[in-house]
Amino acid sequence: MKGVDLVTVDPESGRSILLFEEADPRSWGVASDRALSPFTVLLAIDADRYSNDVVAEMALRLLECGIGYLCAWGPGCKRVHWLFDEGYVGDGSRDWGRFLMTTDHGDESLAEAIWFAIDLAIHEDVQHVADSAVIVGVDRPEWRAEILTLVGDLAELRRRVIEASEHDKPRR
């Protein structure tokens, strides 16, 4: 598929994990593909570098392509979350044919946000998890490298995130 690279397929769920080829969010979009819809997008971006118009245009492109779930991470992720919600609602005249689910993960590590996107961010209309891809958009090379490392060993990613959450639980 033009514009995205397949990084891996999750051996547990069968979900494809793809990465936008370009680092510039102004070019992000995918061909409408029923096999991917409704797909999940994790945006690991420094949104403070982009105007509301740039983020809103990206939201509309991804909505038109079939996004069903957005996970936003990085500086300005709450604003990204809000702009995607606003793009979905718009003036109320457009029916997207599905709900858009959105979350932001500003208080979490990148590993936690990736784990959430892969394991939990599954749109309610998805009948078979393997049919719903996770597409990652990242605008910083150091985050891209970290993401590639983390998704390169999903068992280790899961172990690390679950271990960290167990460590953070209050003791009785």
**Residues 90-137: tens digit of each pLDDT:** 888 888 888 999 999 999 999 999 999 999 999 999 989 998 999 999
d(CA 73, CA 105) in angstroms, rounded, equals 5
Give strand pairing partners of 102: 70
Q: Tens digit of pLDDT for each residue in 87-103?
A: 999 888 888 888 999 99
Domains parsed from the chain with CATH numbers: 4-168 (3.90.190.20)
Q: Mean of the per-residue pLDDT values for the chain?
A: 90
d(CA 104, CA 114) in angstroms, rounded, equals 12
Identify the band that residue 32 occupies on the pLDDT scale cut at 50, 70 and 90.
low
Identify the band that residue 160 occupies on the pLDDT scale cut at 50, 70 and 90.
very high
d(CA 120, CA 24) in angstroms, rounded, equals 26
Q: With beta carbons less than 8 A apart as the criterion, state whether 5 and 21 touch.
A: yes
d(CA 104, CA 119) in angstroms, rounded, equals 15
Q: Tens digit of pLDDT for each residue in 67-92?
A: 999 999 999 999 999 999 999 998 88
pLDDT of res. 170: 60
Q: Which two tokens stand for residue 87?
A: 């793009």
